[in-house]
Structure 1
Amino acid sequence: MKIGIMAAGGVGAYYGGVLAEAGRDVWLVARGPNLEALQREGLKITSVGSGERVVEVQAGSPADAGVCDLILFCVKRYATEQAVQGMLPMLGPDTIILTVQNGVDATERLQDELPPEYRGNVLWGLTYIVSHTEGPGAVNQLDGPRQIVFGEGAGGDNERGRSVQEALDVEGIDSVFSEYVHRNLWNKFMFINGLAGMTAVTHSTLGALKSTPEAWAMLNRVVDEVEALGRASGIELDGERENVMAYLGRLGPDTRSSLAVDTLQGNRLEVDSLHGTVGRIGRELGIETPACDFIYAVLKAQDPGR
Structure 2
Amino acid sequence: MGAGAVGCYYGGLLARAGHSVTLIGRQQHVDAVRERGLLLETDAGRETVPMAAAMNMSGAAGAELVLVCVKSDDTEDVGRALLAHLSPDATLLSMQNGVDNAERMTAVVGREVVPVAVYVATEMAGPGHVKHNGRGDLIIGRRPASETIAAAFTAAGIPTTISANAIDALWGKLILNCAYNALSAVTQLPYGRLMNVAGVEAVMTDLVKECTAVATASGITIPADCLQSVLALAEAMPEQFSSTAQDLSRGRASEIDHLNGFIVRRGEALNVPTPVNRVLHTLVKAMESKVQPTV
With normalisation by structure 1, the TM-score equals 0.89
Find the counterpart in structure 1 of residue 149 from structure 2.
164
Deviation readout 1:21-76 (Å, 9 max, x if unpaired): 0001222113412111111110001123x321111112224314412111111001
Find the counterpart in structure 2 of residue 269 from structure 1.
254
Kindly indicate whether residue 240 of structure 2 is the aligned counterpart of residue 235 of structure 1: no
**What code does the residue aligned with 1:95 have?**
A
Find the counterpart in structure 1 of residue 240 from structure 2.
255
Runs ≥4 in structure 1, deviation > 4 angstroms?
Answer: none
**What code does the residue aligned with 1:30 have?**
G
**What code does the residue aligned with 2:45 have?**
G
User: Equivalences for 1:136-147 in 2 at 5 Å?
Assistant: 136-143=127-134, 145-147=135-137
| Secondary structure of residue in 2 paired with 1:301 | helix
- Call closer, same or farther: CA 1:246–1:295 in 2, change over 3 Å: closer
Distance 1:7 1:203 in 2: 24
Kindly indicate whether residue 9 of structure 2 is the aligned counterpart of residue 14 of structure 1: yes
User: Equivalences for 1:118-157 in 2 at 5 Å?
Assistant: 118=111, 120=112, 122-143=113-134, 145-152=135-142
Distance 2:37 2:138 in 1: 24
* Native 8 Å contact 2:20 2:51 kept in 1: no
Kindly indicate whether residue 29 of structure 2 is the aligned counterpart of residue 44 of structure 1: no
**What code does the residue aligned with 2:264 have?**
G
Give the gaps of 5 or more residues in structure 2: none
Find the counterpart in structure 2 of residue 155 from structure 1.
none
Distance 1:216 1:127 in 2: 24
Distance 2:60 2:222 in 1: 40
Bigger mean CA deviation after superposition, 213-222 or 19-28: 213-222
Q: 1:255 offset after TM fit, Å?
A: 1.7
| Secondary structure of residue in 2 paired with 1:238 | coil
Kindly indicate whether residue 82 of structure 2 is the aligned counterpart of residue 87 of structure 1: yes
| Secondary structure of residue in 1 paired with 2:287 | coil
Q: 1:171 offset after TM fit, Å?
A: 3.9
| Secondary structure of residue in 2 paired with 1:134 | strand
Kindly indicate whether residue 265 of structure 2 is the aligned counterpart of residue 280 of structure 1: yes
**What code does the residue aligned with 1:252 have?**
M
Deviation readout 1:219-261 (Å, 9 max, x if unpaired): 2211221111111111222335145235414323222111111
* Native 8 Å contact 2:60 2:86 kept in 1: no
| Secondary structure of residue in 2 paired with 1:260 | helix
Give the gaps of 5 or more residues in structure 1: 1-5, 153-157
**What code does the residue aligned with 1:58 have?**
A
Q: 1:272 offset after TM fit, Å?
A: 0.7
Alignment RMSD, CA only?
Answer: 1.9
Q: 1:177 offset after TM fit, Å?
A: 1.1
